Structure 1
Amino acid sequence: MSWQPYIDDQLLAKGFMHAAIVSHAGSLWAASEDFFIHPSEVNVLVAALVPPSDDAALKHLATRGFTLNETGRYALTRADVSDEELVPMLIGRCKTVGEPSTGVVVCATHSALVVGIYDGAYSEGASFGGVTTEMHQLASFIMEQGF
């Protein structure tokens, strides 16, 4: 199964600047051009999101942030990881001085992370609600497919 159309036709088309689907082990399933998530970055996110998630890992993200694409450092602004009815999700904002304001949404499925970076100005008709809803819907679909 090719996951690239979901990146191109769903996430990028709905307002994300960059997006990727990566396995919990760090292998890339699909990504937008020039976007890479290093396996060490995946490990940090998996430890905080994937049950049984590690409270210490989540606290570390809350206090120190996390990187993606080996560049921008994101501050955690919200985490929904304990409610079994929801797809585990992290939301953050770029806190790198001198970098343009961007946001990130990370959802965990049974075997993958779905990651999207969006323009904080919500250009091209995107909205915070729209990007988070799109990400949640894609992650839910991936889980329904057994991934």
Structure 2
Amino acid sequence: MSWQDYVDQELIGKGLAHAAFIGEDLVVWASSEGFNLSEAERRAMFDAFENQDHFYESGLDLTGRHFHPAAADDRIIRVVQEGNGAMLVRMKGFIIVGEYGNLAPAQGQYFINKLADQLTAAGF
């Protein structure tokens, strides 16, 4: 299965509004249509895992929209925006990001976590 297949089938196919895989080199490995994260936004995602104090002060921007910090640890970051939210999962060498859209946050988080766990079990 390609990275794009994971985005299309395991995230967008489950109802998430947007999703992407971002490599540590800031290259987009796969992305849902219209989810065009700027290089600065991609860099800020990785920086948020390294400097959580700054993340809690500033939040994150996704495709030009500001999201407020909700929770962060070494593996997962959650952000919220009125009526919406997103979750980032830090993997070996990349980040999975998924935006919930119309899904309940717990449901969106479940699908993102499930995929992250599957990939971890496969050695990623």
TM-score by length of 2: 0.88
Residue in structure 2 matched with residue 85 of structure 1 by the alignment: none
Deviation at 1:140, TM superposition (A): 2.3
Hey, what does 2:37 align to over in structure 1? Answer: 37
Q: Does 1:62 align with 2:44?
A: no
Q: For residues 13 and 72 of structure 1, do their structure 2 counterparts lie closer, same or farther at Cα, with a shift above 3 Å needed?
A: same
Q: Distance in 1 between matches of 2:99 and 2:117?
A: 18
Residue deviations 1:13-61 (CA, integer Å, cap 9, x gap): 2221111011011111111001122222222221232xxx3xxx21111
Rounded Cα–Cα distance in structure 1 between residues aligned with 2:40 and 2:91:
18
Give the 3 Å change call, closer, same or farther, for CA 90–2 of structure 1 in structure 2.
same
Post-superposition CA distance 1:69-118 (Å, at most 9, x none): 2x11110111132xxxxxx11111126xxxxx321111110111101112
Q: Does 1:108 align with 2:100?
A: no
Q: In the aligned structure 1, how far is the partner of 2:93 from the partner of 2:32?
A: 20
Q: Name structure 1 gaps, 5 residues minimum.
A: 82-87, 96-100
Q: Which has the larger radius of gyration?
A: 1
Unaligned runs of 5+ in 2: none
* Aligned residue in 1 for 2:111: 134
Q: What is aligned with 2:71?
A: 78
2:86 is the alignment partner of 1:93: no
> Is the Cα–Cα contact under 8 Å of residues 25 and 42 in structure 1 kept in the other structure?
no
1:26·1:38 contact (CA, 8 Å) conserved in 2? no
SS at match of 1:33: coil
Amino acid at match of 1:91: R
Count of matched residue pairs: 124
Q: Which has the higher helix share?
A: 2
TM-score computed with the length of structure 1 as normaliser: 0.76
